[in-house]
Structure 1
């Protein structure tokens, strides 16, 4: 099975869902590093403020824990959106030659990339349903592709 679009030789080949998932797995590692840094900052700040012993965990479902989750989500979004805007790729997309582009092939707008990240988060939280949707979509687009007006393309080998 080929990941090239039949009939149109000028359009770069579209990625299969497997390439997307591999890139997502690769991107988990830089995101995890950012989350660890954020957690360290929160824990140190909480300890320095004298709220608890450094050997204790942050109380479950406290306001600080929700703030930490939000911070981690925003840091991941910053990583993704800045990477897509800078060169169309995150670190995880590079080995698989995947590129995010606008519907017309140009660099997507900041708004489109933010929408892509937000809807991609919802797709993942729905057990990846938005990603699996690409298997049945006529254009092989995931939910976040459709919502943001972007496309993920696979560059040909150099």
Structure 2
């Protein structure tokens, strides 16, 4: 794929795909939690609580890096016809995918650190902090000449739109059911 093979999807389209991604990731993480609780026999010791957070971080990272290195997209990105590629237009190598995953925590990490520093624990306060952080990170695309988010710029990647699939010439149209 060349650098001009796909245009940058709109910020709105990428954010909507991220919301869809959050629902898919919720299902993946629920399965990961169930497995972890089964293996640890639902122990509530602090080391197991910390271990669960590490486990979810790793499972989430594996979900994204596998999709980005295998096909160039996750299920949500495929649904919204988007693909992540290197700036040269090639599929992401594993190290680049891992770097992109770590940098993408910029969507949430500053807000979570601010909540910790300020001692915010109320769900509404944490929610507002996360929304402010997400909006702030979204605005980074407005400052970028190619409308890429900051984590893509820093990782040397870009999200491109994929064309709509068209029926082959002479193929019968799909029947409505």
Bin for the TM-score computed over the shorter chain: 0.7 to 0.9
**RMSD between superposed Cα atoms in Å:** 1.9
Q: Are 2:38 and 1:44 aligned?
A: yes
Shift in Å, 1:16:
1.4
- Residue deviations 1:30-58 (CA, integer Å, cap 9, x gap): 3212221222223233337xx5xxxxxx3
Give, in whole Å, the separation in 1 of the partners of 2:143 and 2:11: 11
Match of 1:151 in 2: 158
Q: Are 2:4 and 1:15 aligned?
A: no
Count of residue correspondences: 139
Give, in whole Å, the separation in 1 of the partners of 2:77 and 2:148: 16
Extract unaligned runs of 5+ from structure 1.
1-9, 52-57
Counterpart pick for 1:140 among 143, 147, 151: 147
Give, in whole Å, the separation in 1 of the partners of 2:28 and 2:164: 31
Match of 2:95 in 1: 111
TM-score, normalized by length of structure 1? Answer: 0.78
Shift in Å, 1:98:
0.6
Q: Are 2:85 and 1:101 aligned?
A: yes
Shift in Å, 1:99:
0.5
More displaced, 85-94 or 39-48? 39-48
TM-score, normalized by length of structure 2? Answer: 0.71
The residue correspondences of 1:43-62 to structure 2 (distance < 5 A) are 43-47=37-41, 58=44, 62=46
